[in-house]
Amino acid sequence: METEARALEGTRPVDDPAVEEKISFDKQAIPTHYDLPPAFFASFLGPWMAYSCAYFVDEDGSLERAEEDKLLLTAKKLRLKEDDCILDVGCGWGSFIFFAAEKYGCRAVGTTLSEEQARLVNTLAAERGLSDRIRADVLHVYEMDYPDASFDKIVTIGAIEHMEDLGRVFARCSALLRDDGLFLVHGMTQPWRSREETLAGIRTESDDLLEEHFGVGHWHSLWEVIEALEKNDFEVLDHENITNHYKLTVERWLERLIDGEEKIVGEITPEEKYREFIAFFASYIFSFEMNNTLCNQILCRKIKRGELRPNLPLTREHMILHSKEA
């Protein structure tokens, strides 16, 4: 893959000792969560192993359907095409890159901080004969050193919650994306009132929850995400609030964990870890219910001032889940 020319042309992304320190911290903290055995996550996630908000067309929808619909919706928003080269920042077990490669024929690179996840993605890619299309790299977002403008589309799903300096994250993404390329940011935010407290040094339940469970948690407010995007040459094309979808998603994960208790505890994970996840999912749901946590999909385009604006879809029709348009 072209992107294997990493670091040859890329700008040096990190130049600050404080940032280096944060990178080492994240590298040690984040995998404590994601390096748990994939079989444990598989026991409650859907078949694509997406560990992020699914998309429900009705309240009673199945996780399987909603998981695939989220991937389809994301692909539609990004207007994926066969010759697209995609970067997925924080790719997890590869749900989106596999979807993009298998359903659209794209080439895709995913990054993660978890060795376990990268190993699984690369092994599955080999097993499915997709090694020439899909690759996962263990790489901190601040250190992404692929050649500039090497991607047609970039996506990040459920990962900005782990990233402290969104300005730095989006600056990297902006450099790696070709001009006019699309960038989809899918992630949780907290309402400004809660965020204000965090910034004033007052810990909120959301902060504690994220940090305790994931090792690292940074919940920004929506306007901060958008500010960081705009400051890095992205224009926002569309924003969709998907908070209720995430509540339904976590409800499904919780149901599966509870239904599968007998098999999961002992065979797959110790009871202590099992209970930790039950408690975490319950408080996650509560946090959505109480408007302490929100979830968004923000679609952007990389723009250059002074360049002729292309024709863009005039309506949202193409990004309606089951619309006929591609």
Partner 1 sequence: MEGLTASYIFDHLAPKFIEDNPGFPCRVNAVVSIDILGEGGGSWTFDLTDNPRVYRGLADDAKCTLTVSASDFYALLAGGSLSDCLEAFKQKRINFRGHLPTALRLERLLVSLAKDPAIAEHSRI
Residue numbers of the site for ligand SAM (CB under 6 A)? 26, 30, 34, 50-52, 90-92, 95, 111-114, 117, 140-141, 157-159, 162-163
Q: Is 178 helix (H, G, I), strand (E, B) or coil?
A: strand
273 CB neighbour count, 10 Å cutoff: 15
Contact partner, 259, from ligand SAM, partner 1, none, Cβ < 5-8 Å per class = none
> Can you tell me which of 116, 286, 303, 318 binds partner 1, judged by CB under 8 A?
286
Contact partner, 279, from partner 1, ligand SAM, none, Cβ < 5-8 Å per class = partner 1
Q: Does 40 bind partner 1 (CB under 8 A)?
A: no
Q: Which stretch binds partner 1 (CB under 8 A): 138-146, 150-158, 219-227, 279-287?
A: 279-287
Q: Does 202 bind partner 1 (CB under 8 A)?
A: no
Q: Does 285 bind partner 1 (CB under 8 A)?
A: yes
Contact partner, 52, from partner 1, ligand SAM, none, Cβ < 5-8 Å per class = ligand SAM
What contacts 36, CB < 8 A, 6 or more positions away?
Answer: 116, 269, 273
Q: Which of 108, 209, 215, 214 is nearest to 153 (CA)?
A: 108
What contacts 109, CB < 8 A, 6 or more positions away?
Answer: 1, 3, 85, 86, 87, 88, 97, 134, 135, 136, 137, 146, 151
What contacts 21, CB < 8 A, 6 or more positions away?
Answer: none
Contact partner, 276, from partner 1, ligand SAM, none, Cβ < 5-8 Å per class = partner 1
Beta pairing, strands 234-241 & 177-189: unpaired
Q: Does 271 bind partner 1 (CB under 8 A)?
A: yes
Pair of tokens at residue 69: 């619909």
Q: Which stretch binds partner 1 (CB under 8 A): 55-63, 104-112, 139-147, 280-288?
A: 280-288
Alpha helices in 17-149 (DSSP H): 17-29, 31-34, 38-42, 63-77, 95-104, 115-127
List residues binding partner 1 (CB under 8 A).
205, 208, 251, 254, 271-272, 275-276, 278-279, 281-283, 285-286, 289
